[in-house]
């Protein structure tokens, strides 16, 4: 067992990297290790994107990683573009703050902020080491945390932080869930899509932002055939516009606590906005800042009501699509090439020959049917229930009683400061979590702005 670090960060996507950046910026000397199997820090799944068409879903003005400087990304982009980077941005006649950068470029921005923080941290003797491995087990006692890596190494530290991000869903009621992912194409793998017959039919499960990315990938790969999209509600993400400011009605009215009250008031505000000729996205966007408070105050019954009745609409109205991607989807729909159907996926169907067959049940129909395509793309989202994640670390943490499922089994439970709760509901002093694993605690715990704020607060907590 090697004494490796003061703070071990498990996962080097945006969350783990921004935590390291915030720790490096704080006074004092500390050794930080980020354990991440990917070759580069700061990217994770989202910012490993290589296609220019796979963009952020918010403009630069909304995607700063520095909670103290909302213009941080805009300023970085201004310098980057002035230096000859991202020449394609010139095709969009909008100010830099309104550009939707490619996610791969956003990864470069995150990495540059890490590099700068490393230099600043080095002046006081702080270091960040990237350990390229996966954590497969973790134990904790009163004095330290010990982790085991998939290459056999074992490390010890004073604190550990779970920044393990999101796990892809294999949404199927059947046992062969892994079969679905094995049969499906990666939504971002343009090279694999180039192997398809361009005129063939492609099936997509799920109609959220990952589906939009998959359609961008298919277009990029030269696919020109039909695209059949199936999702339970058949709802598409709305396009993100730049709405003007709107009064923060939830800050003024704390009597709104339940999902029903929220929806009623939000609808009223949207109607008022539309009557004044203002975009309905303006009132909706004021809700974001209050979601964590509303969710954490709610009872489990109210949370369940929200998930069952409001979630699909929240997802499609709030998690909106970048304008260029949305325009592509709209064009393909108007050409009749892309069809979105409200239908649930029931499983893979055995068949002989090429392609893939799936069983679906269309909304409102009792009988199921089989649909055949040349390829299948699974864009059905994220598995937040750690009990269903077939990965070593989540399974070991649950088996050892070091974590317990969060509200509604969304991620894991933690105290307000991020200290993870064990199976008995006790917050320890060594193990913390941030980002998507805290979905059940805050509902929105995934986007760039959520992660940036959590990183700053958790760094202060760990150092304090
Ligand atoms: C395709 C995609 C696009 C997105 N686009 C946007 C967007 O436009 N705007 C926005 O605000 N948000 C977006 N998001 C949300 C996004 O999740 C967050 O912005 C951010 O990536 C979350 O960072 P993270 O580090 O918590 O998770 P991740 O990026 O998932 O990183 C977690 C990392 O942990 C590592 N890891 C997991 N388990 C272990 C282990 N046991 N040991 C060691 N390492 C481990 C993984 O390898 C991974 O690199 C997007 C997400 C996805 C998937």
7-41, pLDDT tens digit by residue? Answer: 999 999 999 999 999 999 999 999 999 999 999 99
* pTM of the shown model: 0.94
> Mean pLDDT highest for which of 162-171, 288-297, 418-427?
418-427
What is the pLDDT averaged over residues 184-189? 91
Identify the pLDDT of residue 182: 65
What residue has token string 């095709």? 91
Q: Is the minimum distance from the CB of 41 to ligand 1 under 6 angstroms?
A: no
CB 446 within 8 A of CB 436: yes
| Ligand 1 within 6 A of CB of 53 | no
pLDDT at 259: 83
Question: What average pLDDT does range 435-461 have in this prediction?
Answer: 96
**pLDDT value, residue 2:** 66
Q: Strand runs (DSSP E) across 219-351, as ranges?
A: 227-231, 338-349
Q: Whose CA is nearest to atom 34 of ligand 1?
A: 11
Phi, psi for residue 395 in degrees, rounded to 5: -65, -40
* Ligand 1 atom at minimum distance from 63 CA: 11
Q: Does 267 or 177 have the greater pLDDT score?
A: 267
Contact of 161 with 434, CB cutoff 8 Å: yes
If phi > 0 it is left, if psi is from -120 to 50 it is alpha, else beta; for residue 42 that is left
So what's the pLDDT on residue 248? 95
Give me the pLDDT at residue 57, please. 95
Categorize the per-residue pLDDT at 180 as very low, low, confident or very high, splitting at 50, 70 and 90: low
Identify the residue whose C-alpha is closest to ligand 1 atom 2.
46
Average pLDDT, the chain: 93
In the block, residue with structure tokens 């969060």: 406
144-171 mean pLDDT: 92
Is the pLDDT at 461 greater than 70? The verdict is yes
Is residue 406 lining ligand 1, measured as CB closer than 6 Å?
A: no
Structural domains of the chain ordered from first start: 2-54+102-168+384-463 (3.50.50.60), 177-238+320-380 (3.50.50.60), 249-315 (no CATH)
Region 155-165: mean pLDDT is: 97
Report which protein residue has its CA nearest ligand 1's atom 52. 46
Q: Is the pLDDT assigned to residue 159 strictly greater than 70?
A: yes
Radius of gyration of the chain from its Cα atoms, rounded to whole angstroms: 23
pLDDT of amino acid 175: 42
Assess whether the C-beta atom of 104 lies below 6 angstroms from ligand 1. no
pLDDT reported for residue 447: 95
Q: Is 185 in the pocket of ligand 1 (CB under 6 A)?
A: no
Residues 205, 398, 148, CA angle at the centre, nearest 5°? Answer: 100
Report pLDDT digits (tens) over 86-137. Answer: 999 999 999 999 999 999 999 999 999 999 999 999 999 999 999 999 999 9
Q: Give, for ligand 1, the residue of 165, 216, 323 to mutate: max count of ligand atoms closer than 8 Å to Cβ.
A: 165
User: Minimum mean pLDDT among 59-68, 175-184, 253-262: which range?
Assistant: 175-184
State the angle between helix axes of 14-25 and 103-122 in degrees (0 to 180), rounded to the nearest 10.
Answer: 30
d(CA 446, CA 233): 23
Ligand 1 centroid, distance to 81 Cα (angstroms): 26
The reply to whether ligand 1 has any atom less than 6 angstroms from the CB of 348 is: no
Question: Is the CB of 458 inside a 6 Å radius of any atom of ligand 1?
Answer: no
Ligand 1: distance of its center to the CA of 226 in Å? Answer: 31
Task: Using the mean position of ligand 1's atoms as its centre, give its distance from the Cα of residue 12 in Å.
Answer: 9
pLDDT (average), residues 164-171: 80
Question: Ligand 1 within 6 A of 381 CB?
Answer: no
Q: 382 has which bridge partners?
A: 168
- Region 246-264: mean pLDDT is 88
pLDDT tier for residue 351 given thresholds of 50, 70 and 90: confident
């Amino acid at each position: 067992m090697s004494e490796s670090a003061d703070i071990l960060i498990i996962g080097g996507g945006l969350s783990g990297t921004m935590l390291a950046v915030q720790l490096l910026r704080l006074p004092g000397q500390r050794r930080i290790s980020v354990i991440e199997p990917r070759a580069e820090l700061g990217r994770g799944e989202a910012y490993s994107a290589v296609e220019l068409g796979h963009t952020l879903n918010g403009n630069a003005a909304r995607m700063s990683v520095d909670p103290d400087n909302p213009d941080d990304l805009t300023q970085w982009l201004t310098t980057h573009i002035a230096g000859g980077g991202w020449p394609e941005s010139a095709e969009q006649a909008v100010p830099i703050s309104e550009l939707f950068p490619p996610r791969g470029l956003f990864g470069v921005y995150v990495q540059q902020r890490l590099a700068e923080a490393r230099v600043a941290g080095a002046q006081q003797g702080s270091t960040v080491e990237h350990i390229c491995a996966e954590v497969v087990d973790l134990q904790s006692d009163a004095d330290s945390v010990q982790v085991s890596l998939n290459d056999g190494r074992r490390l010890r530290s004073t604190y550990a932080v779970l920044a393990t991000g999101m796990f892809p869903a294999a949404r199927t009621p059947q046992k062969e869930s892994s079969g679905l992912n094995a049969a499906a194409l990666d939504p971002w793998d343009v090279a694999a899509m180039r192997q398809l017959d361009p005129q063939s039919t492609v099936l997509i499960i799920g109609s959220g932002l990952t589906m939009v990315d998959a359609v961008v990938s298919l277009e990029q790969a030269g696919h020109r055939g039909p695209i059949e999209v199936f999702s339970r509600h058949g709802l598409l993400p709305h396009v993100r516009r730049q709405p003007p400011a709107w009064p923060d009605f939830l800050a003024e009215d704390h009597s709104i606590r339940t999902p029903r009250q929220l929806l009623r008031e939000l609808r009223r505000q949207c109607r008022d906005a539309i009557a004044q000729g203002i975009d309905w996205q303006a009132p909706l966007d004021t809700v974001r800042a209050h979601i964590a408070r509303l969710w954490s105050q709610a009872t489990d019954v109210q949370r369940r009501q929200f998930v069952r009745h409001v979630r699909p609409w929240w997802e499609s109205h709030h998690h909106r699509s970048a304008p260029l991607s949305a325009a592509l989807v709209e064009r393909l729909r108007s050409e009749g090439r892309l069809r979105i159907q409200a239908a649930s996926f029931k499983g893979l169907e055995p068949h002989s020959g090429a392609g893939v067959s799936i069983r679906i049940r269309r909304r409102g129909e009792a009988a199921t049917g089989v649909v055949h395509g040349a390829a299948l793309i699974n864009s059905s989202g994220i598995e937040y229930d750690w009990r269903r994640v077939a990965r070593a670390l989540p399974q070991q943490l649950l088996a050892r009683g070091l974590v317990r499922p969060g509200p509604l089994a969304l991620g894991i439970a933690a105290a307000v400061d991020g200290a993870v709760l064990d199976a008995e509901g006790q917050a320890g002093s060594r193990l913390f979590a941030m980002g998507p694993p805290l979905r059940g605690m805050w509902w929105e715990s995934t986007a760039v702005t959520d992660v940036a704020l959590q990183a700053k607060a958790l760094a202060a907590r760990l150092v304090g």
